[in-house]
Structure 1
Amino acid sequence: MTAPLDASSKELEASPEAVLDGPAKAIQGRSLGQIAWMRLKRDRVAVVGGVVIVLLILIAIFAPLLVSWLGHPPAEWHREKIDPAIQAPIGSFGGMSWDFLFGVEPTTGRDLFSRVLYGARISLLIAFFATLLCVMLGTLLGMIAGFFGGWVDMIISRLMDIFLAFPLLVFALALAGVIPDKAFGLSGDTLRITLLVFIIGFFNWPYIGRIIRGQTLSLREREFVDASRSLGARSHTILFKEILPNLLAPILVYATLLIPTNILFEAALSFLGVGVRPPTPTWGGMLADAVHNYQVAPNYMIFPGLAIFITVLSFNLLGDGLRDAFDPKAR
């Protein structure tokens, strides 16, 4: 038999508080968002892409302020910077100097730095609103098709097939070409931007719609959906309070991957001359003008092209990082 412990031996026993060096704390669980944020912070490439995106957004917002400090108004001509004999910028590297950081445009002498900054406002504005419209339509119709199934799913799925087979670029060229300068109570740049947002967003929703439909088909068979049905929840309550929160991860990931696609599409339309009309600067429109002048002013093509490249690359890097962060099988 073991001898009973006396008071002195009890004092030698370490209490749990002494081991933990403080009061015991309950173990707290982590949500999917917290786990994804921890994974995303460890992905340095995705973090760099996110930082660049934030900088681009700030540049677009504060473009007038930056231009007032470092440049000249984007529509202001500086013919004294142009050689009248060859209609090319005077000086090396397209007229680059401390007053004109990116040089000047051939023929007009407009400040290329200011036009690139103002072009970011148009490109990002169209891309963000077009993506928002695309995500809203694709999410709503994809959820409805996947949740209800049957003839509802059949109609929406065939509608997706029609939109996916539609020659979008040809339709955009035709529609943008026939719309007059004033329509639907809008005019000028407002009309062109609204038209581009509608074309890009309305005809691209099936891509995200198919993804959301597939995810909804899987989620509608889960236990928490059955529990909501057993408690008497209606269909719209299950859709927006049970299924939609579980779709936020794929929606966010696909949206970040869709924004660069929309930026490129807007640049392509502006390049073809059916986007926002001059003298409003856009990256695609500047590239279209640079085709005829890049031999005498290569910076006229380099800087708008570099702006598109950096923007698209940053969104793609962030989208890949978000996809890995929300993947439950990722290490």
Structure 2
Amino acid sequence: MTAPLEAQDSAEGAEPEAITRGVRNTANRSLRQIAWQRLKRDRVAMAGGVVVIVLVLAAVLAPVIAWLTGESPYQYDEALMDPLTGGALNDPADPASGVDPLGGMSLKHPFGLEPGNGRDMFLRVIYGAQISLIVAFCATVLCVVIGTLLGIVSGYFGGWVDAVISRAMDIFLAFPLLLFAIALAGVVPDGAFGLNGNGLRIGLLIFIIGFFNWPYIGRIVRGQTLALKEREFVEAARSLGAGNAHILFRELLPNLVTPILVYSTLLIPTNIIFEASLSFLGVGINPPTPSWGGMLDNALDYYTTSPHFVIVPGLAIFLTVLAFNLLGDGLRDAFDPRSTD
């Protein structure tokens, strides 16, 4: 038995209207709104973003957290430690109570105590996040600025300009960055350029990481610029008498924001690992200033008796890098024009 003709006509007429409504709703959304909707559906990327936000807030509010807990990341409390093994005592009032297998973890010290000196691990990790994020973010900004400027100029002008900048990229990419950083950090004095101590160390790490890593993002920007400069909107701007500066920074650069943002998110964890590696090797942040790499270096003397000293900063690095990578992958998928809603 067939449906009435009126019902059939109604059903047939509803489908094109629904399709038109869906197209209208999609057309009314900006690229930012579409990307946000895609990102919200990616639970893994959103989880990474939450971890990143919590980490940044903890690093910014580290002094407040230290004030609320009444502890200090620099406060030595050797009375809580076993003088023979360096581990935390089960009962600080009884030196014969033995070593606590949990490393002194409690409500007051959630991550335990540093072996040998009794400093609070929780605050050391939070203050270490400050160093890692400052170096990683500032180095990424320097890398993005240099790489974007040289990449867009190289791709737009071409010719001998492109050849010179491309060969410079090849030279920087072939440079043994880790060995150079170790050598440079070892010969720079404690005071230079109006800075001293860890202020100079942080500035040096930012310069090394940012200045020598720009070719990675420079190549991406150059490739995108080569494709964009042949598009109709560039030809239209040129036909209206727009100069090279206008085309570069008002036409091309806004269309490069998405790949730059995505790659920057993926570059930050690389810089975090690089800073931690230098601190681990003893040429990064000077103690007693907390740094995740420096904490791992100190843990080598106690990993058999206090394994939490290795696990805590190691997990901090692992979770931070993983969170940034998951967020970066989610942003890349969200801004991909080939993705479907």
Structure 1 length normalisation: TM-score? 0.91
In the alignment, which residue of structure 1 is the partner of 2:179?
Answer: 170
Identity of aligned residues (%): 64
Q: Return the alpha-carbon distance in structure 1 between the equivalents of residues 166 and 316 of structure 2.
A: 37
Say if 1:254 and 1:319, in contact at 8 Å, map to a contact too: yes
Instruction: Tell me if 1:85 matches 2:84.
Output: yes
Displacement after TM superposition at 1:99 (Å): 2.1
In the alignment, which residue of structure 2 is the partner of 1:62?
Answer: 61
Which letter does structure 2 place at the counterpart of 1:35?
A: I
The CA deviation string for residues 104-131 of structure 1, in whole angstroms up to 9 with x for no partner, is 1111111111101100100011000000
Which letter does structure 2 place at the counterpart of 1:102?
A: F
Displacement after TM superposition at 1:88 (Å): 2.1
Task: Decide which of 131, 134, 137 is 1:125's aligned counterpart.
Answer: 134
Displacement after TM superposition at 1:67 (Å): 2.0
Which letter does structure 2 place at the counterpart of 1:178?
A: V
Q: Return the alpha-carbon distance in structure 1 between the equivalents of residues 311 and 153 of structure 2.
A: 46
Aligned CA distance change for structure 1 residues 146 and 122 (closer, same or farther; 3 Å): same
Task: Decide which of 226, 240, 256 is 1:217's aligned counterpart.
Answer: 226
Task: Decide which of 210, 227, 240 is 2:236's aligned counterpart.
Answer: 227
Instruction: Tell me if 1:33 matches 2:32.
Output: yes
Task: Decide which of 177, 193, 205 is 2:202's aligned counterpart.
Answer: 193
1:308-319 mapped onto 2 (5 Å cutoff): 308-319=317-328
Which letter does structure 2 place at the counterpart of 1:50?
A: G
Task: Decide which of 242, 248, 252 is 1:239's aligned counterpart.
Answer: 248
- Which piece of structure 1 moves more, 36-45 or 90-99? 90-99
**SS of the residue 1:180 aligns to:** coil
In the alignment, which residue of structure 1 is the partner of 2:20?
Answer: none
The CA deviation string for residues 164-202 of structure 1, in whole angstroms up to 9 with x for no partner, is 000000000000000000000101111110000000010
Q: Return the alpha-carbon distance in structure 1 between the equivalents of residues 303 and 105 of structure 2.
A: 15
1:100-119 mapped onto 2 (5 Å cutoff): 100-119=109-128
Instruction: Tell me if 1:137 matches 2:136.
Output: no
Displacement after TM superposition at 1:48 (Å): 1.0
In the alignment, which residue of structure 2 is the partner of 1:5?
Answer: none
Which letter does structure 1 place at the counterpart of 2:47?
A: V
Q: Return the alpha-carbon distance in structure 2 between the equivalents of residues 85 and 45 of structure 1.
A: 45
Displacement after TM superposition at 1:205 (Å): 0.4
- Which piece of structure 1 moves more, 109-118 or 83-92? 83-92
Task: Decide which of 160, 176, 184 is 2:193's aligned counterpart.
Answer: 184
Displacement after TM superposition at 1:87 (Å): 2.3
Which letter does structure 1 place at the counterpart of 2:171?
A: I
Displacement after TM superposition at 1:71 (Å): 5.6
In the alignment, which residue of structure 1 is the partner of 2:296?
Answer: 287
- Which piece of structure 1 moves more, 83-92 or 152-161? 83-92
Q: Return the alpha-carbon distance in structure 2 between the equivalents of residues 98 and 34 of structure 1.
A: 43
Q: Return the alpha-carbon distance in structure 2 between the equivalents of residues 293 and 85 of structure 1.
A: 12
Q: Return the alpha-carbon distance in structure 2 between the equivalents of residues 260 and 99 of structure 1.
A: 30
Displacement after TM superposition at 1:30 (Å): 2.4
Q: Return the alpha-carbon distance in structure 2 between the equivalents of residues 292 and 163 of structure 1.
A: 37
Aligned residues: 308
Structure 2 length normalisation: TM-score? 0.88
Q: Return the alpha-carbon distance in structure 1 between the equivalents of residues 77 and 256 of structure 2.
A: 52
Which letter does structure 2 place at the counterpart of 1:274?
A: V
Q: Return the alpha-carbon distance in structure 2 between the equivalents of residues 237 and 57 of structure 1.
A: 36
In the alignment, which residue of structure 2 is the partner of 1:75?
Answer: 74
Displacement after TM superposition at 1:242 (Å): 0.3
Structure 1: gaps (5+ residues): 1-18, 20-25
In the alignment, which residue of structure 2 is the partner of 1:22?
Answer: none
In the alignment, which residue of structure 2 is the partner of 1:259?
Answer: 268
Q: Return the alpha-carbon distance in structure 2 between the equivalents of residues 321 and 111 of structure 1.
A: 35
Which letter does structure 1 place at the counterpart of 2:329?
A: D
Instruction: Tell me if 1:302 matches 2:301.
Output: no
Q: Return the alpha-carbon distance in structure 2 between the equivalents of residues 106 and 231 of structure 1.
A: 70
Backbone CA RMSD of aligned residues: 1.5
Say if 1:71 and 1:114, in contact at 8 Å, map to a contact too: no
